[in-house]
Structure 1
Amino acid sequence: MIKSLTVSHSFHLKLATVALAILGLSGCSGVISGAGPYKGAIESENTTYNLVEINANTIAPYMRSAARPMQASIAKPVAPSARLMPGDVLSILITDNAPEGSALFAPLSTGGTQLKTRINDQGKISLPYVGQPFVAGMTLSQVEALIVKQLKGMTTDVQTHVELVGDLSGSVLVAGAVKSPGRFSTLQGPLTLLDAVNQAGGPVMEPHLVNVTVRTGNQVQQFNYEDILAGNNMVLRPNSEVVLERARQRFVAMGAVGEPGLKDLPAQNTSLLDALSSVGGLREGSANPEGVFVFRMGEGDQAKPTVLRLDMRDPAAIFYARQVVIKPDDTIYVTNAAVHEWQKIISPVVQTMMVGRVAGIQ
């Protein structure tokens, strides 16, 4: 019996010693975190980054901007003059009103002579009496004038009408993150950027996660698809290329949050509160509300990184978190509460000591 009491006393003494050691450790390092740096270490003086305590006096540079208003203007499609290129198919109507017997083509009264020709890889077409003129780079009206010029002297009164019926020069290529990529014709009329994307089935992701690149051959423009929906639409030039790609709109959530990992920003102008909500919020029972940090790389070669800190125990911090903007590549880090770390440390120690106690009693 005396041996049992001695072992029990020794066990409790060791347990108390471990607890005091852990309390001392927490006092030295601030709040312990098992998923990253200690809260105290982040808050200590350093030359690597700027630590900003978010409050009413410091929040202004980190607030999200106001939502941009929707534009009332619309893109008005105006048919541009398409420049022909190899692969285009032309339908050519030639009428010849010369006296009967001297006409090379059918007269207008009978519907004229209808011809169809494709521009070959050398940029030429082939027509009877006209030969093989080079037409690549010309407009339809220029081809009409060329045919009339080539037939001059062969007949007295010829008229032509040229129509593009199979086009590469007038089409638009849509590729990338759309449901049905492909080349879309402008024969039915000019296409706006929204027209082209809609004909390709629309983007496969949320609008704010899609960047749009428009190439025209001598100019490159980039947009966020959400901005296009807000009214920043445009008429596409023939033979343009439209490429939709995933925008780099991601952040990292670490520490005591519900769903840590690499996440998509839930909106284009995401607040810290929205971002925390999208990862399940602070983990109940293990998070330290006083240790909510946002790590942000500096902008520019000389700019130092910034670490923002919020004390979520302050009721006003909820409003601050609603106003602070989260940028792509930010890292949100929530430290663990000290008691959670103590439990992780004490549990295996207690289990080991309990095993030793049982062995000692036996």
Structure 2
Amino acid sequence: MRGSVLVLLAVALAGCGGSFFSASGPTKGAILKHSDDETPPYTLVELSADTIAPYMRPREPVLTPAVSDTPMPEVKLVSGDVLRVMVSDSSIEGALFAPLSTGGTVFNKVRIDSKGNVSLPYLGRQKVSGLTLGQVEDKLRGTAAQYASDPQVHVELVSDLSGSVLVAGAVKSPGRFSALEGPLTLLDAINEAGGVLLEPHLVRVILRTGKKVETYSYQDILSGGNHPVPPRSEIIVERARQRIVAMGAVSKPGLVDLPSDNPSLLEVLGTVGGLNERTADARGVFVFRLEDNKLSSEPLAKVFRLDLRDPAAIFLARNFLVLPEDAVYVTNAHSYEFQKLISPIVQVLILGRSVDAIGN
């Protein structure tokens, strides 16, 4: 029966070799070694005290005491705005409008229709869209002068579409928010919407004003980069592409959000649960990165390697900056690969012995 055992072993290794010897990525040797006539498609950087300087985390930014300017914008009325109009007459007897001493004649909730007009008793239909409040007062005063002696007109905005700001996306309470109480900044508008749903460094803010589109990091806004928001703007709050891929012999491989604005390799490894103690090769910690090429449209590929068996490597990992879209990969230890080779052999030998026992 020994021959049948060998046949079973050969068949098992031939048919299942792909699964037994597979890994989640290249071996350490495949990354580090190339034949003399073969140029690797990437630059290998062995991280050390002499090579880490260009790849270190930046220092924490200095806090700025400056606050955002909040200039009062000139609001021009649009369809949908609601006005409160007061018209008074200096005459007492036979006047169409009440005197100013009694508060004048007030028209509440005067809405600008879809054609930009308002309709008022005696004053008729008036085109007001595109005008400021002061211009509307002058226009109505001119019309009221036909029916009143020295008329006074006061117009105020009680519900504004023209000065409001729309906030949408990754906020708690998206919606349209009024600027009646004063001009809004990016932080004002986002706070009115209940704040963001993600960590600040994971948020990107898009501001559309009708004339241009601008993009901001929410972390930068909090650090002093707040900006005023023009009327009728739209603010979109969305998840920034601040992710890396963790692969190989780590405890929690997968697509991972960066743990901070400028994370170190040590932080990232901590986020994914560190190296897998049973399978990882501490000598094979790699970071794969594509960088912009100033001389060509083709990106530059770099592979950084760190040997965590060296105690000094912990300090290097603490200072090495991990960028969005990096891939952090830890190779398997040789002992684990050997175990994957031996396990199927042992299983086949046990199976063969069982077959032999049944035959006897």
Give the superposition deviation at 1:293. 0.5
Q: Aligned to 1:343, what secondary structure does the other structure show?
A: helix
Q: Considering only aligned residues, what root-mean-square deviation do their CA atoms show, in Å? A: 2.2
Alpha-carbon distance between aligned partners in 2 of 1:358 and 1:115, rounded to the nearest angstrom: 99
- Distance 1:359-1:126 versus aligned 2 partners, 3 A rule: closer
Pick one of 27, 34, 37 that aligns with 1:38.
27
Q: Deviations over 1:83-137 (max 9, x none)?
A: 1100000001111113632x33111122101013111111111123322222111
Alpha-carbon distance between aligned partners in 2 of 1:76 and 1:38, rounded to the nearest angstrom: 56
Pick one of 85, 107, 117 that aligns with 1:124.
117
Give the superposition deviation at 1:244. 0.3
The residue type equivalent to 2:199 in the other structure is: E
Alpha-carbon distance between aligned partners in 2 of 1:137 and 1:324, rounded to the nearest angstrom: 55
Alpha-carbon distance between aligned partners in 1 of 2:339 and 2:197, rounded to the nearest angstrom: 45
The residue type equivalent to 1:34 in the other structure is: A
The residue type equivalent to 1:189 in the other structure is: G
The residue type equivalent to 2:270 in the other structure is: S
- 2:18 alignment counterpart: none
Q: Deviations over 1:239-290 (max 9, x none)?
A: 1111100111111000000000111111111111100100010110211011
- 1:294 alignment counterpart: 287
**1:230 and 2:223 correspond:** yes
Q: Is the 8 A contact 1:33 1:335 kept in 2?
A: no
Q: Deviations over 1:21-67 (max 9, x none)?
A: xxxxxxxxxxx982211111111343411111111221122112112
**1:311 and 2:303 correspond:** no
Matches within 5 A, 1:1-362: 34-45=23-34, 46-98=39-91, 100-101=93-94, 103-116=95-108, 117-300=110-293, 301-357=297-353, 359-360=355-356, 362=360
The residue type equivalent to 1:143 in the other structure is: V
The residue type equivalent to 1:106 in the other structure is: A
The runs of 5 or more residues in structure 1 that have no matched partner are: 19-31
Give the superposition deviation at 1:70. 2.2
Q: Aligned to 1:125, what secondary structure does the other structure show?
A: strand
- 1:29 alignment counterpart: none
Give the superposition deviation at 1:146. 1.1
Q: Aligned to 1:149, what secondary structure does the other structure show?
A: helix
The residue type equivalent to 1:57 in the other structure is: D
Alpha-carbon distance between aligned partners in 2 of 1:49 and 1:235, rounded to the nearest angstrom: 45
Q: Is the 8 A contact 2:92 2:98 kept in 1?
A: no
Alpha-carbon distance between aligned partners in 2 of 1:354 and 1:237, rounded to the nearest angstrom: 77
Q: Is the 8 A contact 1:33 1:337 kept in 2?
A: no
Give the superposition deviation at 1:333. 0.4
* TM superposition score normalised by structure 1: 0.87
Q: Is the 8 A contact 2:97 2:148 kept in 1?
A: no
Q: Is the 8 A contact 1:33 1:341 kept in 2?
A: no
Alpha-carbon distance between aligned partners in 1 of 2:225 and 2:202, rounded to the nearest angstrom: 16
Q: Aligned to 1:126, what secondary structure does the other structure show?
A: strand
**Identity rate, percent:** 53
The residue type equivalent to 2:325 in the other structure is: D
The runs of 5 or more residues in structure 2 that have no matched partner are: 14-20
Q: Is the 8 A contact 2:47 2:306 kept in 1?
A: yes
- Aligned pairs, number: 336
Alpha-carbon distance between aligned partners in 2 of 1:72 and 1:33, rounded to the nearest angstrom: 56
Give the superposition deviation at 1:219. 2.2
Q: Deviations over 1:140-188 (max 9, x none)?
A: 1111111112233433301111000011011111100011111111112
Give the superposition deviation at 1:358. 5.3
The residue type equivalent to 2:112 in the other structure is: I
Give the superposition deviation at 1:357. 4.1
Alpha-carbon distance between aligned partners in 1 of 2:40 and 2:230, rounded to the nearest angstrom: 52
